[in-house]
Amino acid sequence: MTMTDSKPVGLYIHVPFCKSKCPYCDFYSVAMKPDTAECYVKEVIRRIREYNLIYDTVYFGGGTPSLLGSDRIAKILGSVYVTNDCEITVECNPSDICRENTELSFGKLRSCGVNRISMGLQSADDGERRSLGRRTGRNGIERAIRTVKAAGINNISLDIMLGIPGQTEDSLAATLGFCIESGVKHISAYILKIEENTFFGRNAEKLSLPDEDRTADFYLQTVETLGNAGFEQYEISNFALPGYESRHNLKYWNDEEYLGTGPAAHSFLGGKRFYFERNLEDYLGGAKPVSDGIGGTAEEYIMLILRLKKGLDYNSFKAKFGCEIPDEIKSFAALLAEKGLAQANENGFHFTPEGFLISNKLIYETISKLSLPGGH
Ligand code: SF4
């Protein structure tokens, strides 16, 4: 696919550098050395040029993209063809924004097209943040938000975490209040998942983690509080003021195509899924991406679209795949609606917040009722 024969797609750039490892995190990242950072930027540019595509969303994720500094981010963006209205997001660690002599200029980022910043708040409670290995205190986060806004970038997203050791209804209420008052446009609220290969995974029994029921209550508290403040829940974990949904992440859930580059980055392009191994040296050495099979199947589409509040629309499904949704799925949707886990009518269904809480199980059950002719 080249720029001349394709419609715009998304671009994900995985920046595999972090200053230190947070105790709960399983994302791929290593320590950054200046030489490696230069080689990384060159390799990213080389690989993006191989495709010659045009992009309508660009997302620098990680890792910690803000560690790269604005000059390197600008250099990468200088090699990317983007549409006039391209959404360009950079994930930033507030500590990189607040640091003296930071290499991060938001004026520079803005002038090279960056128009959305995503920051990890996790919690407005400094004790909870410390337990997650985060150094910047609440004041630092406030300063970071002011710095980004002062550069004219107002589309800011904050990540928060539910189920943190020691979290209470009151501390969560304070975190949600902080987000709402800070004037950000988007909030992602993730339930802490204990991954085996992390410090938390190795020490789970020593952490005072809220149990599943309590965490479920935190989730419902989040949905209600943010809803009352005008943040529409548009995906299981994502909330936005009207018009500020993440266009890039919506591509994933709408099963649209994107190119991913950088170690551990995944792609869905030309009907195929592929990814880079979690290894920076191999990536820098020119390793080819690994095939991950065919993308865009009916099964995959249902799995992703049901993560969204809009849910599954039977007519859109028929237009895309040329066949009706099986009656078994329609009956299952009606059953879920009776239990308060979904809202359903003759045109489709979507999960309620209670349904989202057990969406993995519900999606699996939905897909198991899908048997279509033609091997979808
Ligand atoms: S949570 Fe973010 S900053 Fe912490 S190790 Fe993971 S990617 Fe790096």
Q: What is the pLDDT of residue 353?
A: 97
Q: Ligand 1 — pocket residues by CB below 6 A? A: 18, 21-22, 25, 27, 29, 62-64, 93
Which of ligand 1's atoms lies nearest the C-alpha of 18? Answer: 8
Residue 46: give its domain's CATH number.
3.80.30.20
Which of ligand 1's atoms lies nearest the C-alpha of 20? Answer: 5
Q: 279 with 287: CB under 8 angstroms?
A: yes
Contacts 24+ apart (CB under 8 A), 341-350: 342/311, 343/311, 346/314, 347/313, 347/314, 347/315, 348/311, 348/312, 348/313, 348/314, 348/315, 348/316, 349/311, 349/312, 350/306, 350/308, 350/309, 350/310, 350/311, 350/312
Same domain, 309 and 247: no
Q: What are phi and psi of 58, to 5 degrees?
A: -130, 135
User: Is position 291 within any domain?
Assistant: no
User: Is position 340 within any domain?
Assistant: yes
User: Is position 293 within any domain?
Assistant: no
User: Is position 281 within any domain?
Assistant: no
Q: What is the pLDDT of residue 34?
A: 84
Residue 350: give its domain's CATH number.
1.10.10.920
Q: What is the pLDDT of residue 3?
A: 54
Domains held by the chain: number: 2
Range of the domain at 21: 3-252
Mutate to test the pocket of ligand 1, among 64, 122, 195 (most ligand atoms within 8 A of CB): 64
Mutate to test the pocket of ligand 1, among 14, 21, 26, 192 (most ligand atoms within 8 A of CB): 21
- Determine the distance separating the centroid of ligand 1 and the alpha carbon of 118, expressed in angstroms: 13
User: Which residue has a Cα nearest atom 7 of ligand 1?
Assistant: 63
Q: What is the pLDDT of residue 172?
A: 98
Provide block-wise average pLDDT over 10 residues at a time, the chain (376 residues).
Answer: 71 96 91 92 97 96 94 97 97 84 88 97 94 88 95 97 95 98 97 92 88 96 98 98 98 97 97 97 97 95 98 97 95 98 98 97 95 54
pTM score of the predicted model: 0.95
User: Is position 283 within any domain?
Assistant: no
Same domain, 202 and 310: no
User: Is position 261 within any domain?
Assistant: no
Picking from 220, 252, 284, the residue at the C-terminal end of a domain is 252
Picking from 252, 283, 309, the residue at the C-terminal end of a domain is 252
Comparing CA positions, the residue from 362, 364, 368 lying closest to residue 349 is 362
**What is the number of helices (H) and of strands (E) in the chain?**
16, 15
- Determine the distance separating the centroid of ligand 1 and the alpha carbon of 370, expressed in angstroms: 38
User: Is position 37 within any domain?
Assistant: yes
